[in-house]
A and B are shown apart, each in its own frame.
Chain A
Amino acid sequence: MNDDVFQYYLQKTKEVGFVAQSVHSLIYISGLPHARPGELVVFKNGGNGQVLSLSKDYAEVLLLSNTQVSVGSEVARTNETLQVGIGDGLLGRLVNPLGNALDNKGTLKNVSPFYIDRDPPSLLERRPLEKSLETGVSIVDMVVPLAKGQRELIIGDRKTGKTEFLLQTMEYQARQGTICIYALIGQRMNDIQKTHDFIIQKKITDQCLIIASSSSQSAGLIYLTPFTAMTAAEYFRDQGHDVLLILDDMTTHARVYREISLLAKRFPGRSSFPGDIFFLHAKIVERAGNFKNGSITCLPVAESVLGDISGYIQTNLMSMTDGHIYFDIDLYDKGARPAVSPFLSVTRVGHQVQTPIAKQASRELSSFLVNYERLKQFTHFGAEVGESTQSMLRQGEKISRFLSQRDDISLPVTGSVYFFAGILSGIWNEDSLEVFTGKMEKYYKKYIDNQTYRSQIEQLLINTNNFKDLLTSLKSDSSLIQSAFT
């Protein structure tokens, strides 16, 4: 079979090369006089690779398969740039960056070849962000809201709950009809399987697909992962869908690209990364946005070390995205779930698509959190505080509890805004934290399960002019919110 493919291309292109040198995932090939950068080549033993660069004597090829390539083995040109099978057949599937199935469900059907290395769309093809993208996580939807077509970096140390947040967002968005693509870049096979199991278990396979490369695979394959994922996102966008694309994670991608570049003797720059690492990542991330047919919301992930978000790759990604959500290890250790830092997280465009009342609630919440934090630091020194300050501290505790959310509960933003207004209006001021928590859980349950109740609240928020009016009305009549506890 492998030999047939090789012979087919050999007869087609009438050119052959011989492996002169093999340096990990880079292969230097003599011959192939008309090879061109980006072209796919096939090895006689069944592997394949992509031409990276050309010199007088050799073609430098990035190996894309895990096959062993020995010096002297034959290589044929294909006269084709790398294309991957993309289409509706990908939905619910777990595939590698070359479009080969990894889920034992047989070969992919209903896919067509697509070039994966494409230029980002021009400015004229783009549209302003118009719709909000809810994550179902109150702290994110209220403090750092996202818009469809936004590029938001998810940054944080290892084991700070980034993946849980991303999976929760993916589930919530899949249920809203968004196509969700999760790209696992150089992850452990166990994590890849877990993510695949998650979409099966949550019954969201009709809306989701996973493109994954494991850490044990060739550097070339890991390098291609975000390109294939973005191409799949572009396909579904062109079909008129809104797409959520998660690139988990780009620091691994940068490390792999550094490995390839150093092996290829490219001049190392800061932290030994090649000079074009910014260009490479920007070229991927820039392909997201809001367009005429649909949108691609891109959530690249970056891993920080010991809470340091000033690393080279991390700051690169920050500067090419429209904000970042920072998962704080200290907050995580204190028990905050999700451990999103409201002070270090940024959204540059998310607020512009919020409803006026959500925007005002968001401003109120941010301002409250800043004051509450200051007050906590002040009282830390044992200062005596008055009744009003104590009341604010109690309210702060309740808001902190409200913002700590289980990853299996996703609350629409209207539900979050209304409940936050309830806390701020002071209707539960006399309740202990335990009683408050019980009420909050009942509210969540009723809001999620009871369509009528949800519609009533949504209608109320539409009819209310501003957040202050909502607070006033809640102070005078809290029967609607209190009805959740009966």
Chain B
Amino acid sequence: MKHSNVVRHILTVDERDSLVSILESIKPKIFQDRGVPLTNLIDSSIPVSFAGIIKEDKASFLGNDSAYLESLLSDLESIPVLLLRAGFYPSNLTIQKVYAFFASTVLDPFFIRFEYDVRIIGGIIVVWKGRYLDLTLNSYFEAISQEEIEPLLKKIS
């Protein structure tokens, strides 16, 4: 990973996708170094939250502007995605908390993709590198047998 500084600042797939689309749009402008210098394009096109980091990253990169962009794009595309499916729309704070939680167990860098699923009562579904983990209340309820439900219902009534 050559650009871990940039990658570290991105948490979600949506952030990654918007940065990738900006980088893709400025790529033709610096074609073969005969266009506008990358530093100028960073200031004019990239959001301020990323501009400083990318400038720093570029300064430490050995190679021309287009090689830098190719390398950064390649790194961004290669990062695996952690898919989280839940029955609610998460806030930024929730995303940060969830990211921090998974980052403590997953060593490799990753991006989070949050998906809203109306059928999920509670809990979450996690998909990581093809592995599917159902931690929802739905699966918990389905696992409860009829024999276990009846005494519970009696207790409530």
Residues on A facing B (Cβ under 8 Å): 10-11, 13-17, 30-33
Nearest Cβ on chain B to A16's Cβ, whole angstroms? 4
Q: Give me 8 other A-B pairs in contact (C-beta within 8 A), A10-B132, A31-B130 excluded.
A: A11-B134, A13-B132, A14-B134, A15-B130, A15-B132, A16-B130, A30-B130, A31-B129
- In the complex, the answer to whether B129 meets A16 with C-beta atoms within 8 Å is no
Does B134 lie within 8 Å of A15, measured CB to CB? no
B53 at the interface (CB under 8 A from A): no
Distance from A163 Cβ to chain B, minimum over Cβ atoms (Å): 47
User: Shortest Cβ distance from A272 into chain B, in angstroms?
Assistant: 33
Residues of B within 8 A of A16 (CB): 127, 130-132
Ranked nearest first, the 8 interchain pairs of A and B with the lowest CB-CB distance are A31-B130, A33-B130, A16-B132, A14-B132, A32-B130, A15-B130, A16-B127, A15-B132
A48 to chain B, nearest CB (A): 18
Partner of B129, one of A10, A13, A33: A33
Question: How many Å lie between the Cα of A11 and that of B136 in the bound state?
Answer: 12
B130 partner residues in chain A, CB cutoff 8 A: 15-17, 30-33
Q: Which of B129, B131, B134 has the most CB of A within 10 A?
A: B131
B100 proximal to A (CB < 8 A): no
B103 in the interface (beta carbon within 8 A): no
In the bound complex, CA of A10 to CA of B129 (Å): 14
Interface of chain B residues 127 through 146 with chain A (CB within 8 A): 127, 129-134, 139
B105-134 near A? 1/0 per residue, CB < 8 Å = 000000000000000000000010111111
Residues of A within 8 A of B127 (CB): 16, 31
* A16, B129: Cα distance in complex, Å: 9
CB nearest neighbor in B for A10: B132
**Residues of chain B lying within 8 A (CB to CB) of residue A30:** 130
Bound: A454/B131 CA distance, A? 71
Q: Which residues of B lie under 8 Å from residue A10 when comparing CB positions?
A: 132
Q: In the assembly, what is the distance between CA of A31 and CA of B129, in Å? A: 5
Chain A residues, CB < 8 A from B133? 14
16 contacts between A and B (CB under 8 A): A11-B139, A14-B132, A14-B133, A14-B134, A15-B130, A15-B131, A15-B132, A16-B127, A16-B130, A16-B131, A17-B130, A30-B130, A31-B129, A31-B130, A32-B130, A33-B129
